[in-house]
Chains A and B, each alone.
Chain A
Amino acid sequence: MEVDNKVKTEEVESVKTQKKSYSQNNKIATITNTDLETLQKRQKAKEITVKTVTYVFLIFFAFITIFPFYWMIISSLKTDTEYRLVIPTFFPHEFCWGNYAEALQVEGFWRALINTLGVAVVSTLLSIVITILAAYAFARLKFRGRDTLFAVLLMTMMIPGELFTITNYATVSTLGWKNSYQVLIVPFLVSVFYIYLLRQNFKQIPDELYYAAKVDGASDFKYLLKVMIPLAMPSIISITILKMMGAWNSYIWCQLVNDDKNFWLISVWLRNSSFVSAADRAASSTGNTNYPIQMAACVIVSTPLFLVFLFFRKYIIRGVSRSGTKG
């Protein structure tokens, strides 16, 4: 039994039980004691190897994951001369914060930023109202054809958006909405996925609450406002954040319908601007791309997303992983 004190890890527990049963049988107890110790040692060594390999694997991929961010940030702080060294430096010799000032002065930045924030806020607010109303109708109200209609809506999620885009482009052109703000907002107000997400959440709220409210004489609208929305708040926050991030990242549609720079969103501005230093621009009309300034612009566009991620991680992961639940 002298081995017992050494035994600590869970894996060895099973071995221990084996040993007990062996030692009851005196004849083989002496033989197994030595066998056990080598076995335990081998097991421990194997365990350490597995742990080491796991950590090396994870840290290697964590490094690959983080490297583009690292490269973006340090490149944004280099001078153009240092950036163009034959062998790139992995840490800037001197910090050139002026790149950020230059990036902010690139034509159209502030306009694109205000456009993006405005479009994000307005479309999120309207979209939340529409989603809540629709989710409430599907979760709580009873009317003929409700379940069929919901199934039809879910089926539209399978259709690639490009199929709609073709006709929507014609529609917005006919309406004269090209180069406007509403063209970035109105076609994307309804998201079946968010309706689905919120409906599932509303469904979890017990019916008894609804009947109690009805007995107390509350209208459907008041019940929705005072009971359902507060209880479903986490889901609503998730939807808000995902929608905001969507507006911040949207690119293709804006590129297609708005060729006027005054209506660009931040991603379109980033891809279509030429990043030339002020000195180069003064010297000639077509300067070389100044990559540190370009990288500074990338940092500026990426930072708000990181801040949102740091503060609202729980809600983002909640919204994303919800999309994976069956049913």
Chain B
Amino acid sequence: MEAKHQWKGWIFLAPALILMAVFTFYPFFKTIGITFLNGYNPLKATNQTFEFGIQNFIDAFNYPKFTSCLYNTIIVTIVTVPISTMLALLISVALNSIRPLQKILQTIFFLPYVTNTIAIGMVFAVMFSVIGTPSRFTTVGVINTIFGTKINWINISMIGGSNASHFTRMFVLCVYIIWNALPFKIMILLGALQSVNKQYYDAAKIDCATKAKTFWRITVPMLSPMIAYVLITGFIGSFKEYTASVAVFGNDLNSIDMNTMVGFIYNQIALAEFGRAAAGALILFAIILVFTMFSRWVGSKKVHY
């Protein structure tokens, strides 16, 4: 009986394990291997000369666009994650406190979750785009109209004008990423809020606690596991951000210095520079690993229950 069960378990797992062996476990070790083998190309069959070392990391760091990719990724992370988490927390607390219109507002706030990143990114590009020349705009775009400005937010160059600055491009990208990241966070936090035991609030009411006190002493501690979860997934997600940038600025991100770490990796793969790509991926992995460990450690100290 025992032996039969043993056999059955592996049969049920076989399809998943075979696929994972080929596309998860093997690549994990192989990629780490590629990182430390200088001059190795997995596309070439045999008779390769390569040596063991950290040359790939040096090459990656010395690659002209690497620093810009790393810089962009870090900026996106430290700007978007705290802002979107804070906004999501405020919106979900506000949503939870109202009765009329709650359902319809909830639906509106969830809407961006189901969008195609490319399609809406192109809409953001259109909203910020300026068409024409500096002296005679064909259109200044809707955002400029609303704020009464004439800023060239993202465009490569208006005829006779200058390129958009890195700052404004980054601003547009961050706005888009925050807009895109909010619904997931609201969904998680609102779900958590709705499952907080009402007795805590009743107790606070009997003690005549103020709204602010109730928020900081009950809501935030009760939500802390979910806030931590949203922060960790948010950090990991933004370190892997790439599609949003492609959606707003198109495929040629290097020429306007808007590429990210994941973009760097994909570019290197396309150039068949597997060593540099692997070094980039390992750096990304290390950042995510260190960050996850750190937040686990903080979480175990700070997160309530």
Residues in A lying within 8 Å of B, measured CB to CB: 10-11, 14, 50-51, 54-55, 57-59, 61-62, 64-66, 68-69, 71-72, 75, 83-88, 129-131, 133-134, 136-138, 141-144, 146, 149, 153, 156, 158-171, 173-174, 186-187, 189-190, 195, 220, 245, 248-249, 251-252, 255-256, 266-267, 270-272, 291, 294-295, 297-298, 301-302, 305-306, 308-309, 313, 316-317, 320-321, 324, 326
Contacts and interface: CB of A to CB of B under 8 A. Distances in A.
A69 B180 CA distance: 12
A230 to B, nearest CB: 18
A252 B251 CA distance: 10
A59 B126 CA distance: 24
Contact of A294 (B32, B126, B187, B278): B126
A166 B269 contact: yes
List of 8 A-B pairs having minimum Cβ-Cβ separation, nearest first: A143-B9, A167-B27, A170-B42, A137-B12, A134-B16, A298-B119, A141-B9, A309-B114
28 contacts: A50-B211, A55-B101, A58-B101, A65-B109, A65-B111, A66-B111, A75-B123, A88-B145, A130-B16, A133-B13, A133-B16, A153-B20, A156-B28, A158-B292, A160-B236, A162-B240, A162-B266, A166-B269, A168-B27, A171-B23, A190-B19, A190-B24, A249-B116, A305-B116, A316-B113, A320-B113, A321-B188, A324-B229
B109 A291 contact: no
B5 interface: yes
B28 A130 contact: no
B246 to A, nearest CB: 7
Contacts of B10: 137, 143
Contact of A271 (B113, B206, B246, B282): B246
B304 interface: no
Contacts of B31: 163-164, 166-167
Q: Which of B19, B123, B138 has the most CB of A within 10 A?
A: B123
A71 B142 CA distance: 9
Contacts of B5: 141-143
A166 B27 contact: yes
A68 B262 CA distance: 26
Dominant SS among interface residues on chain A: helix
B127 interface: yes
Contacts of A161: 240
Q: How large is the interface on B (under 10, 10 to 19, 20 to 34, 35 or more residues)?
A: 35 or more
Interface string B97-134: 11001000101111111111111101110110001000
Contacts of B28: 156, 159, 163-164
A252 B267 CA distance: 11
Interface string B236-267: 10011011001100110000000000100110
B117 A62 contact: no
A227 to B, nearest CB: 15
Given A301-B116, A305-B116, 17 more contacts: A58-B94, A71-B142, A86-B137, A86-B139, A87-B139, A88-B139, A156-B20, A159-B28, A160-B281, A160-B284, A163-B28, A189-B19, A190-B16, A220-B8, A295-B126, A301-B119, A316-B114
B30 interface: yes
B265 A166 contact: yes
Contacts of A173: 43
Contact of A14 (B9, B24, B97, B206): B206
B19 A186 contact: yes
Contact of A54 (B19, B94, B116, B251): B94
B123 A68 contact: yes
B140 interface: yes
A210 to B, nearest CB: 12
Nearest to B269: A169
Contacts of B112: 65
B58 interface: no
Given A158-B289, A270-B122, A294-B126, A170 B16 contact: no
Given A14-B205, A68-B120, A295-B126, A166 B113 contact: no
Contact of A68 (B26, B127, B145, B226): B127
A270 B250 CA distance: 11
A291 B12 contact: no
Contact of A86 (B140, B206, B226, B250): B140
A320 B187 CA distance: 8
A170 B26 contact: no
A256 B269 contact: yes
Contacts of A186: 19, 23
Contacts of A160: 236, 239-240, 281, 284-285, 288
B159 interface: no
